[in-house]
Amino acid sequence: MTIIELFQKLLRFKSLTPNDDGAFDFIEEYLGADWTCIKVDMEGVKNRFYYKKFNENPQHLCFAGHIDVVPTGEGWSVDPFAADVIDGVITARGSQDMKSGDAAFLYACKNAKNFDGTLSILLTSDEEGEGT
Protein backbone atom coordinates (compact mmCIF):
# COMPACT_ATOMS: atom_id res chain seq x y z
CA MET A 1 0.00 0.00 0.00
CA THR A 2 1.41 3.39 -0.98
CA ILE A 3 1.34 6.39 1.35
CA ILE A 4 -1.43 7.96 -0.78
CA GLU A 5 -3.54 4.78 -0.63
CA LEU A 6 -3.05 4.65 3.14
CA PHE A 7 -4.04 8.31 3.48
CA GLN A 8 -7.20 7.80 1.42
CA LYS A 9 -8.10 4.65 3.37
CA LEU A 10 -7.87 6.55 6.68
CA LEU A 11 -9.95 9.41 5.27
CA ARG A 12 -12.75 7.04 4.26
CA PHE A 13 -13.43 5.99 7.85
CA LYS A 14 -16.39 8.02 9.14
CA SER A 15 -14.63 8.44 12.46
CA LEU A 16 -16.79 11.14 14.01
CA THR A 17 -15.80 11.74 17.64
CA PRO A 18 -15.60 9.35 19.52
CA ASN A 19 -16.39 6.61 16.96
CA ASP A 20 -13.37 5.17 15.15
CA ASP A 21 -15.61 3.42 12.54
CA GLY A 22 -13.18 0.48 12.39
CA ALA A 23 -10.06 2.57 11.79
CA PHE A 24 -8.21 1.03 14.73
CA ASP A 25 -8.89 -2.51 13.50
CA PHE A 26 -7.50 -1.50 10.13
CA ILE A 27 -4.42 0.15 11.67
CA GLU A 28 -3.65 -2.92 13.77
CA GLU A 29 -3.90 -5.10 10.65
CA TYR A 30 -1.87 -2.61 8.61
CA LEU A 31 1.02 -2.51 11.08
CA GLY A 32 1.10 -6.30 11.32
CA ALA A 33 2.26 -8.89 13.82
CA ASP A 34 5.60 -7.16 14.49
CA TRP A 35 3.74 -4.43 16.38
CA THR A 36 2.23 -4.82 19.85
CA CYS A 37 -1.08 -3.06 20.54
CA ILE A 38 -2.28 -2.01 23.98
CA LYS A 39 -5.98 -1.08 24.03
CA VAL A 40 -7.44 1.26 26.62
CA ASP A 41 -11.15 1.92 26.12
CA MET A 42 -13.19 4.01 28.52
CA GLU A 43 -16.54 5.79 28.33
CA GLY A 44 -16.88 5.15 24.58
CA VAL A 45 -13.40 6.47 23.80
CA LYS A 46 -10.82 4.18 22.23
CA ASN A 47 -7.11 4.71 22.85
CA ARG A 48 -4.39 2.66 21.22
CA PHE A 49 -0.68 2.36 21.93
CA TYR A 50 1.24 0.49 19.23
CA TYR A 51 4.93 -0.22 19.67
CA LYS A 52 7.83 -2.16 18.17
CA LYS A 53 11.13 -2.79 19.95
CA PHE A 54 14.01 -3.03 17.54
CA ASN A 55 16.52 -3.69 20.33
CA GLU A 56 17.02 -3.13 24.06
CA ASN A 57 18.34 0.42 23.75
CA PRO A 58 16.18 2.69 25.98
CA GLN A 59 15.78 5.28 23.20
CA HIS A 60 12.06 5.63 22.43
CA LEU A 61 10.41 7.74 19.73
CA CYS A 62 6.61 8.07 20.02
CA PHE A 63 4.24 9.64 17.48
CA ALA A 64 0.91 10.87 18.89
CA GLY A 65 -2.30 11.74 17.11
CA HIS A 66 -6.01 11.18 16.76
CA ILE A 67 -8.23 9.35 14.30
CA ASP A 68 -11.47 11.25 14.98
CA VAL A 69 -12.92 14.18 13.07
CA VAL A 70 -15.57 16.78 13.80
CA PRO A 71 -18.99 16.45 12.12
CA THR A 72 -19.04 17.36 8.44
CA GLY A 73 -21.39 20.33 8.71
CA GLU A 74 -23.02 21.99 5.71
CA GLY A 75 -21.67 23.18 2.40
CA TRP A 76 -19.78 20.19 1.03
CA SER A 77 -19.97 19.92 -2.77
CA VAL A 78 -18.48 16.40 -2.61
CA ASP A 79 -18.83 13.38 -0.33
CA PRO A 80 -16.67 14.40 2.69
CA PHE A 81 -15.57 10.79 3.21
CA ALA A 82 -14.87 9.79 -0.42
CA ALA A 83 -11.25 11.05 -0.33
CA ASP A 84 -11.32 11.73 -4.05
CA VAL A 85 -8.54 13.60 -5.82
CA ILE A 86 -10.01 16.87 -7.10
CA ASP A 87 -7.73 19.15 -9.14
CA GLY A 88 -4.72 17.32 -7.72
CA VAL A 89 -5.87 17.64 -4.09
CA ILE A 90 -7.24 14.86 -1.88
CA THR A 91 -10.46 16.33 -0.51
CA ALA A 92 -12.09 14.87 2.62
CA ARG A 93 -12.99 15.56 6.25
CA GLY A 94 -9.84 15.09 8.34
CA SER A 95 -7.37 15.56 5.50
CA GLN A 96 -5.55 18.33 7.38
CA ASP A 97 -6.44 17.49 10.99
CA MET A 98 -5.07 14.97 11.36
CA LYS A 99 -5.27 12.00 9.09
CA SER A 100 -2.45 13.27 6.86
CA GLY A 101 -0.12 13.22 9.86
CA ASP A 102 -1.45 9.82 10.95
CA ALA A 103 -0.79 8.40 7.49
CA ALA A 104 2.73 9.86 7.44
CA PHE A 105 3.88 8.40 10.74
CA LEU A 106 2.03 5.08 10.30
CA TYR A 107 3.70 4.60 6.91
CA ALA A 108 7.13 5.63 8.21
CA CYS A 109 6.90 3.38 11.27
CA LYS A 110 5.63 0.34 9.35
CA ASN A 111 8.41 0.68 6.80
CA ALA A 112 11.22 1.38 9.27
CA LYS A 113 13.79 -1.38 8.86
CA ASN A 114 16.06 -0.34 11.69
CA PHE A 115 15.82 1.87 14.74
CA ASP A 116 18.12 2.08 17.74
CA GLY A 117 15.42 1.47 20.37
CA THR A 118 11.60 1.48 20.28
CA LEU A 119 9.17 3.17 17.91
CA SER A 120 5.61 3.74 19.10
CA ILE A 121 2.33 5.32 18.06
CA LEU A 122 -0.28 6.71 20.45
CA LEU A 123 -3.75 7.34 18.99
CA THR A 124 -7.14 8.30 20.42
CA SER A 125 -10.66 8.41 18.99
CA ASP A 126 -11.64 11.52 20.97
CA GLU A 127 -9.27 14.45 20.55
CA GLU A 128 -12.00 16.58 19.02
CA GLY A 129 -14.58 16.02 21.78
CA GLU A 130 -14.97 15.84 25.53
CA GLY A 131 -12.87 12.67 26.03
CA THR A 132 -11.48 11.65 29.38
At 131, the pLDDT band (50, 70, 90 cuts) reads low
Q: Known catalytic residue: 68?
A: yes
What pLDDT, on a 0 to 100 scale, did the predictor assign at position 33?
Answer: 97
Query: 3-class secondary structure for the chain?
Result: CCHHHHHHHHHCCCCECCCCCCHHHHHHHHHCCCCEEEEEEECCEEEEEEEEECCCCCCEEEEEEECCECCCCCCCCCCCCCCEEECCEEECCCCCCCHHHHHHHHHHHHHCCCCCCEEEEEEECCCCCCCC
What pLDDT, on a 0 to 100 scale, did the predictor assign at position 129?
Answer: 81
What pLDDT, on a 0 to 100 scale, did the predictor assign at position 118?
Answer: 98
The neighbouring-strand residues paired with 66 are: 124
What pLDDT, on a 0 to 100 scale, did the predictor assign at position 123?
Answer: 98
**Among 102, 126, 127, 128, the one annotated catalytic:** 127
Write the CATH number of the domain with boundaries 3-124: 3.40.630.10
**Among 68, 102, 126, 128, the one annotated catalytic:** 68
What is the C-alpha separation between 53 and 118, in angstroms, rounded? 4
At 76, the pLDDT band (50, 70, 90 cuts) reads very high
pLDDT digits (tens, 9 = 90+) for 86-129: 999 999 999 999 999 999 999 999 999 999 999 999 999 999 88
Q: Known catalytic residue: 127?
A: yes
Global pTM reads: 0.94
What pLDDT, on a 0 to 100 scale, did the predictor assign at position 132?
Answer: 53
What pLDDT, on a 0 to 100 scale, did the predictor assign at position 8?
Answer: 98
What pLDDT, on a 0 to 100 scale, did the predictor assign at position 130?
Answer: 73
Average pLDDT on 13-39 reads 97
φ/ψ (deg, to 5) at 60: -140, 125
For 68, counting Cβ atoms within 10 Å of its Cβ (0-12 exposed, 13-18 middle, 19+ buried), the class is buried
